[in-house]
Amino acid sequence: MPEGHTVHRVARQFRRDFVGHALAVSSPQGRFAAGAALIDGRVLTGSRAVGKQLFLEFDGGLVLRVHLGLYGAWDFFGRISPITEGMAALGSMGAPRLRRAVRMGEDEQERGAAGAEEPFPPEPVGQVRVRLATGASVADLRGPTACEVLDPESAAAAVARLGLDPATEEDLEAAGAEVARRLTRRAVPIGQLLMDQSVMAGIGNIYRAEMLFRARLDPWTPGRQVPVEAARALWDDWAVLLADGIRTGVMLTREDLDEAGRARALADRSERHWVYGRAGLPCRVCGAPVVVEDMAGRKLYRCPSCQR
């Protein structure tokens, strides 16, 4: 599942190339024809992410809410600006399934081979739920869990249901105190609480496992037993990891790497994480085998020695 950094990058891509333009909106798949008709021809006035959800704002107050879920992805064509200065523009963000692009990172893909000539706009690839187009740029949405047009009140209610997101909070200190309160008031395991999008928004399976290892916390510890300082530290760590993920497009969670090691990890997925995806392999700190367990229907990776 695409995690919060990916959705923030998608929001930035729309701000770079689509905001301020009247968009041609269609549903090549046909499943979103009615919704597309509501916003077709309207000017995109804003684009923002909260956690794993994207909110595209159109003139007249209508909002397109998109939740990629496990299998959703955005594919971009035409004039696509780099999100981060000095880094290449990327053509696909989400669950990478676009065959004519090259996979890059956990959940992003590089644009097609340089010099390849394709008609514009390109024919839709796969089951495209909605297509948003300017005269120079196209965005195709495939496989989302949610895609709906909301009025301003419904959009505000959808945002209100979400937890706190370091990339959107103006007062990180106050937000951190609130997150600590939410994490420590319940008997639910801390590993489950981190995946609760009404507590902290944007954390998925990879960030969950890595944050708990970085904090040396046993994921099965009830929230009520987690010290307030440790709960607050999780928020601070999430702010650091999210900002780095938004900048690079990669979930690189090892803080032990020097500049050369970080460069290797950016190129080699197997070097990026402490415990995630490393079941049976030795812990990078203590050497104990990393274990994988089930928590609320999702895989949970941890070191049974370091995370006591």
CATH number for 4-160: choose from 3.20.190.10, 3.60.20.10, 3.30.70.330, 3.30.1330.60: 3.20.190.10
Start and end residues for every CATH 1.10.8.50 domain found in the chain = 172-302
Looking at the predicted structure, is the pLDDT value of residue 229 above 60?
yes
Bridging pattern class, strands 63-67 and 73-78: unpaired
Catalytic residue among 3, 57, 106, 210: 3
Catalytic residue among 42, 284, 298, 304: 298
Contact in structure between 284 and 191 (CB atoms under 8 Å): no
End-to-end CA distance of the chain: 28
Catalytic residue among 9, 48, 52, 278: 52
Looking at the predicted structure, is the pLDDT value of residue 99 above 90?
no
Rounded mean pLDDT of 6-18?
97
Rounded mean pLDDT of 224-243?
98
CATH number of 172-302: 1.10.8.50
Binning pLDDT at 50, 70 and 90, where does residue 85 land? Answer: confident
Catalytic residue among 2, 144, 166, 189: 2
Start and end residues for every CATH 3.20.190.10 domain found in the chain = 4-160
Looking at the predicted structure, is the pLDDT value of residue 96 above 60?
no
Has 173 been annotated as catalytic?
A: no
Question: Which pLDDT score is estimated for 87?
Answer: 66
Question: Which pLDDT score is estimated for 103?
Answer: 27
Question: Which pLDDT score is estimated for 1?
Answer: 75
Has 271 been annotated as catalytic?
A: no
pLDDT tens, residue by residue, 256-297: 999 999 999 999 999 999 999 999 999 999 999 999 999 999
Looking at the predicted structure, is the pLDDT value of residue 120 above 70?
yes
Strands of the chain (E only): list them: 24-26, 44-50, 53-58, 63-67, 73-78, 90-94, 102-104, 108-110, 128-133, 137-142, 146-150, 291-295, 298-302
Binning pLDDT at 50, 70 and 90, where does residue 17 land? Answer: very high
Q: What are phi and psi of 16, to 5 degrees?
A: -70, -45
Instruction: Calculate the average pLDDT of the chain.
Output: 92
Say which residue, 260 or 115, is predicted with more confidence: 260
Binning pLDDT at 50, 70 and 90, where does residue 121 land? Answer: confident
Question: Which pLDDT score is estimated for 116?
Answer: 52
Has 219 been annotated as catalytic?
A: no
Has 298 been annotated as catalytic?
A: yes
